[in-house]
Chain A
Amino acid sequence: MEQVSVSPNAALIEKTKRRELAAAKRKRLKAIVFGLTGVAGFLLLWYAVVWFEWIDSRLIVYPHEVFQTLASKFYDKSFDGSLLPVHIASSLIVAVCGFLMAVCVGVPLGLLMGWYQPFDRFVRPVFEVIRPIPPISWIPIMIIFLGIGLQAKTVIIFFAAFIPSLINSYTGIKLTNPVFINVAKTCGASKWRTFLRVGVPSALPMAFAGMRISLGNAWGTLVAAEMLAANKGLGFMILMGRTYLRVDVIIGGMLVIGLIGVLFAVGFDWVEHKVIKWGKKQ
């Protein structure tokens, strides 16, 4: 039954093609419309809550008031003693410094621990003791050593951030394909060279995942630290907002905190992308 390739159904194909493409377009449109509706609905609800005073009017503000306050905080020192950019900068500096330090210590440590058994045996117990204790609980002790201010906060952030980086780097390098290791061995490579050339690159994806978690942890812990031991920064700002019953400052601060968190994530993805590309070229 030899088939002769007939194509009177080229027209049929065209029809189906148009139908499928139209359906895809409608789907994309639906996504956008529904998404906007959801957000709009929420805003509408918010306005209603304030308008009808379902929540006491001292405890809630209109959405637009939040943005007005945020804008004004750029130049109005008001009650907490600093401008918005100052708070943001203070938080950012601590977060980024703590994160970078944590990554520079945590990732290499994790990689080494995963590769060299004796090292693992030595460092592990200390690590397992420190790990379950949430970084925030170190704050009082850190205050004793370093007082309220930049250093104490940075150390706390360091604790919070270096654990996920370390764990993930450790796991990542432990999962190195043994086949590759054996190949390196048969080529006569030393343990150190195998580590650099085989272990580290293959552990990178997991290490990066760990760093991403670290960044999130760092940012979250920072907010807590600023509520307990600071006089500047976004966490401090919203705490002050609560003291002075300025809900607009609180909500505004929360949004800024969230936004920076998102920017961090996006920025980190970009950096990771660049590093992977560079690594591939090697």
Chain B
Amino acid sequence: MKVSVRFIIKRIIYYILPALSIFLLLLMWTAVAESQKTIPNPFEVFERFKRLQDRPISNTGIIGHIWASLQRVLKALGISILLGIPFGLLIGWSESFRYLFKPLFEIFRPIPAIAWIPLVSIWFGVGEASKITIVFLGAVMPIVVNTYTGVSMVPKLLTDAAKSFGASHGQLLTDIVLPSSLQAIFAGIKTALGIGWMVVLAAEMISAKSGLGFLIIRGSDSDDIALTMVSMVFIGVIGALLSTVCNLLERRICPWTNE
């Protein structure tokens, strides 16, 4: 009898605690909002979201802005994958290529993508191309690094086995090295997505005419903090969705991995 009472109490705590903490969070938020006139409370934020549907900003609804940010990230990610993976494969696989180009890469790598904004905006202006370039510069780094790390970690046993069965150099690369590195490459893509999402927002906050980052600044500039907060919520939601999608994709593409 004793055990089952404890069990029930444990179960209750299990469900109550999360609810409690969310509740406390909302409470704190509202408290802060009341004390600081400029910060809206949760209800006001929701209201703003509803009003946004009727009166769009820059002639685009919230969906339009979400898409503006998203498509920049996706385009940049696509380019990063197309250019980054082969580059990483070459660095990992070919000694000559590695000796020639890895030092250069390692010089560019530590420069944060956001630090490129001034230079890129001088050279390419403030249009889509410059934003996509900046996101690309952020996203391509983890993809290249993870790719060449994945290549270097292919177990020698597996390449030996393939060699002993007569695999040519090219077959080794496509049939053994590439699939073996796929997991690491995917981890790189996930990281790149996360970084890309952050970078696109920073770029939009600094100078843009559309997108969620732009909305944040717009809200802040026009004392419309509720707008800022609506955008922040969406940013969070989209960010979480992206990483979930990535995880799902990984399970599809690499069905052989252990969980």
Contact = CB atoms under 8 A, between A and B. Distances in A.
Contact of A134 (B101, B122, B201): B201
**Interface majority SS (helix, strand, loop, mixed), chain A:** helix
B20 interface: yes
B115 A238 contact: yes
Interface stretch (B157-165, B181-189, B233-241, B250-258): B233-241
Contacts of B235: 132-134, 137
Q: How large is the interface on B (under 10, 10 to 19, 20 to 34, 35 or more residues)?
A: 35 or more
Contacts of A13: none
B123 A136 contact: no
A39 interface: yes
Interface in A1-45: 30-31, 34-35, 37-39, 42
Nearest to B233: A133
A156 B119 CA distance: 24
Contacts of A136: 198, 201-202, 205
A265 B206 contact: no
B85 interface: no
A258 B110 contact: yes
Contacts of B123: 55, 59
A118 B15 CA distance: 10
B231 interface: yes
B94 to A, nearest CB: 11
A258 B39 contact: no
Contact of A228 (B96, B112, B119, B205): B205
A145 interface: yes
A122 B21 contact: yes
A136 B67 CA distance: 20
Nearest to B103: A35
A133 B235 CA distance: 6
B220 A140 contact: yes
A132 B38 contact: no
A181 interface: no
A172 interface: no
Contacts of A259: 110
A262 interface: yes
Report which residue of B112, B225, B240 has the largest number of chain A beta carbons within 10 angstroms of its beta carbon: B112
B220 A59 contact: no
B216 interface: yes
Interface stretch (A70-78, A102-110, A249-257): A249-257
Interface residues of A, number: 57
A144 interface: yes
Contacts of A37: 100
A235 B101 CA distance: 28
A131 B96 CA distance: 42
Interface stretch (A182-190, A195-203, A217-225): A217-225
A39 B235 CA distance: 40
Given A125-B21, A126-B25, A261-B110, A34 B100 contact: yes
Given A59-B123, A129-B25, A254 B111 contact: yes
A242 B236 contact: no
Nearest to A123: B21
A250 B202 contact: no
A140 B228 contact: yes
A257 B115 contact: yes
Interface string B95-137: 0100111111001111111111111011100000000000000
A39 B103 CA distance: 7
Report which residue of B116, B121, B122 has the largest number of chain A beta carbons within 10 angstroms of its beta carbon: B122
Given A35-B99, A136-B202, A257-B115, A122 B36 contact: no
A192 B38 CA distance: 44
User: Shortest 8 CB-CB distances between A and B: which pairs?
Assistant: A140-B220, A34-B99, A242-B118, A220-B112, A261-B110, A132-B239, A132-B236, A258-B111
Interface of A: 30-31, 34-35, 37-39, 42, 55, 59, 118, 121-126, 129, 131-141, 143-145, 219-221, 223-224, 227-228, 235, 238-239, 241-242, 245, 247, 250-251, 253-255, 257-259, 261-262, 265
Given A55-B123, A137-B216, A140-B219, 16 more contacts: A30-B99, A35-B102, A38-B101, A59-B122, A59-B123, A126-B21, A134-B202, A143-B220, A220-B114, A224-B206, A239-B118, A245-B122, A247-B122, A254-B115, A257-B110, A257-B111
27 contacts: A30-B99, A34-B96, A35-B103, A39-B107, A122-B17, A123-B21, A129-B236, A132-B243, A133-B232, A133-B233, A136-B205, A141-B39, A143-B220, A144-B38, A221-B198, A223-B115, A224-B114, A227-B114, A238-B115, A238-B118, A241-B118, A242-B119, A242-B122, A257-B110, A257-B112, A258-B107, A261-B112
